[in-house]
C-alpha cells in the first residue's frame, strides 16, 4: 500500500508529469519519423579528445544559427546503440563493422523528435572513437576534428580527473554503474574511469593518472586519424586548438567556408574574442603551454609516451 501511495504521489508531481509528457511526445514523434521520413541531412560531428577545445568549436559553429543542436553531449544515446553495456565492456569505441542500418534510423529519429527536421550539429567526445562507425551510418556527414598539443591536453585531463567540472564530475559510473574490473588508478586514488573508456582500458586500471590520461589522448587521436583516411577530404575538417589563440578569425572563417556557412562581421568579432574568453570548465582560462604551470613533472614523465604522436600531429615535443 505504501509503495502504491508513493507512486501516486510521484504521478501527481508536476515536474514528473511534465517529464513523462515530454517523453511520450518524443516517442510519438520518433514513431512519426519512420512513417513521414522527413528530410534529415547527415549531421556535422564536432570531435576531438576530451579537453581539446571541442566545446568552444561547437559553440562557435552553433552560433551560426544554421544547425539544430542539443546543449549537451549524448554519450548515453550513442553508447546505447553500441557501448560497454552491450559490447561486453570492451570500450566506448565503435568500428565500421558495428554499424547497423537501424542505428542510423534511431539516431535520425532521436534528432527529429527532439530538434525537428533539418541539419544537426553534434558534439559528443566519445564519437572521436567512432569515426569509421559514424561514416558508415552517415556517409555524407562532415567531421570537424580539433587536436591539441599532447602536453597541454593530457595536463588538462589530469586536472579534469582531479577537479571535475563546475556542473559535475567526469566519472563514468553515473552512466554504466560499477566497473566489472577492479580500478585502482594512481595507487587507488580513482576507483572509476573518467571522461571515456578507451579500448585496452583494463591494462591501465593500476597505472598512474598521467599514464592513463596519456593513453586516453593517444587512443582518441589514433583512432580518429586512422579512420580519417577513409573519409573523403571534403568531409574532414582538421583544426588546431592553438589557432584559437593565434588565428581564431582566420581559422573559423575557413571552417565556415568548408561548411558552406556565411561568416559575417558578427561572427568575426565573436571569434576575435575567443583568445580572451574564459571557456574552461575545469581550471582557469585556456592558454598555450598551460601544462608548465599545472602538471610539469607529470607531463615530463609521460612525454616519451606521447612524443611520437605529437610529431605525427605536427607538434615539437621539445619546444
255 within a domain of the structure (yes/no): yes
Average pLDDT estimate for 40-64: 97
Neighbouring CB atoms inside 10 A of 187's CB total: 10
129 in a domain, yes or no? yes
Give the pLDDT confidence of 211-228 residue by residue, as tens digits.
Answer: 999 999 999 999 999 999
Identify whether 31 is part of a domain: no
Distance (Å, whole) CA 128 – CA 144: 10
Q: Per mean pLDDT, which range of 36-45, 153-162, 208-217 is the poorest?
A: 36-45
Give Rg (Cα) of the chain. Answer: 21
Predicted TM-score of the model (pTM): 0.91
Tell me: pLDDT of 168 over 90. Answer: no
Percent of the chain with pLDDT over 90: 78
In sequence order, the β-bridge partners of residue 316 are none
For the chain, what percent of residues have pLDDT higher than 70? 90
With respect to residue 18, please indicate whether it lies within any of the assigned structural domains. Answer: no
Q: Please check whether residue 181 lies inside any domain of the structure.
A: yes
In a domain, 126, yes or no: yes
Segments forming the whole domain that contains residue 98: 51-312
Whether 159 is covered by a domain: the verdict is yes
Domain count, the chain: 1
Contact 129, 198 (CB under 8 A): yes
Least confident piece of the model among 161-170, 178-187, 296-305: 161-170
Q: What is the CATH number of the domain that holds 64?
A: 3.40.50.300
Report pLDDT for 10.
Answer: 56
Q: Is 16 part of a structural domain of the chain?
A: no
Please report which confidence band the pLDDT of residue 16 belongs to, taking 50, 70 and 90 as the band edges: confident
Amino acid at each position: 500500500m505504501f509503495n502504491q501511495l508513493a507512486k501516486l504521489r510521484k504521478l501527481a508531481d508536476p515536474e514528473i508529469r511534465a517529464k513523462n509528457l515530454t517523453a511520450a511526445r518524443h516517442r510519438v514523434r520518433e514513431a512519426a519519423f519512420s512513417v513521414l521520413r522527413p528530410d534529415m541531412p547527415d549531421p556535422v560531428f564536432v570531435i576531438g579528445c576530451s579537453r581539446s577545445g571541442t566545446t568552444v568549436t561547437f559553440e562557435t559553429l552553433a552560433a551560426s544559427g544554421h544547425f539544430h543542436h542539443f546543449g549537451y553531449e549524448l554519450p548515453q544515446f550513442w553508447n546505447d546503440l553500441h557501448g560497454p553495456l552491450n559490447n561486453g565492456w570492451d570500450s566506448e569505441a565503435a568500428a565500421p563493422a558495428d554499424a547497423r542500418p537501424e542505428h542510423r534510423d534511431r539516431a535520425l529519429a532521436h534528432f527529429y523528435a527532439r530538434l525537428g527536421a533539418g541539419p544537426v550539429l553534434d558534439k559528443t567526445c566519445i564519437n572521436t572513437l567512432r569515426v569509421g562507425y559514424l561514416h558508415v551510418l552517415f556517409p555524407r556527414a562532415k567531421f570537424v576534428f580539433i587536436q591539441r598539443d599532447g602536453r597541454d591536453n593530457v595536463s588538462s585531463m589530469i586536472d579534469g580527473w582531479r577537479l571535475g567540472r563546475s556542473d559535475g564530475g567526469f566519472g563514468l559510473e553515473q552512466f554504466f554503474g560499477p566497473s566489472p574490473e577492479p580500478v585502482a588508478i594512481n595507487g587507488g586514488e580513482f576507483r572509476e574511469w573518467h571522461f571515456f573508456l578507451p579500448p585496452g582500458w583494463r591494462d591501465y586500471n593500476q597505472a598512474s593518472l598521467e599514464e592513463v590520461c596519456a593513453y586516453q589522448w593517444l587512443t582518441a587521436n589514433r583512432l580518429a586519424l586512422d579512420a580519417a583516411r577513409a573519409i573523403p577530404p571534403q568531409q574532414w575538417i582538421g583544426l588546431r586548438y592553438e589557432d584559437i589563440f593565434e588565428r581564431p578569425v582566420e581559422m573559423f572563417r575557413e571552417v565556415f567556408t568548408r561548411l558552406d556557412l556565411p561568416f559575417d562581421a558578427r561572427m568575426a568579432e565573436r571569434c576575435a574574442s575567443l583568445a580572451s574568453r574564459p571557456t574552461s570548465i575545469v581550471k582557469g582560462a585556456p592558454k598555450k603551454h598551460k601544462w608548465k604551470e599545472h602538471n610539469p613533472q607529470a607531463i615530463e614523465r609521460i612525454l616519451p609516451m606521447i612524443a611520437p604522436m605529437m610529431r605525427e600531429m605536427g607538434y615539437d615535443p621539445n619546444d
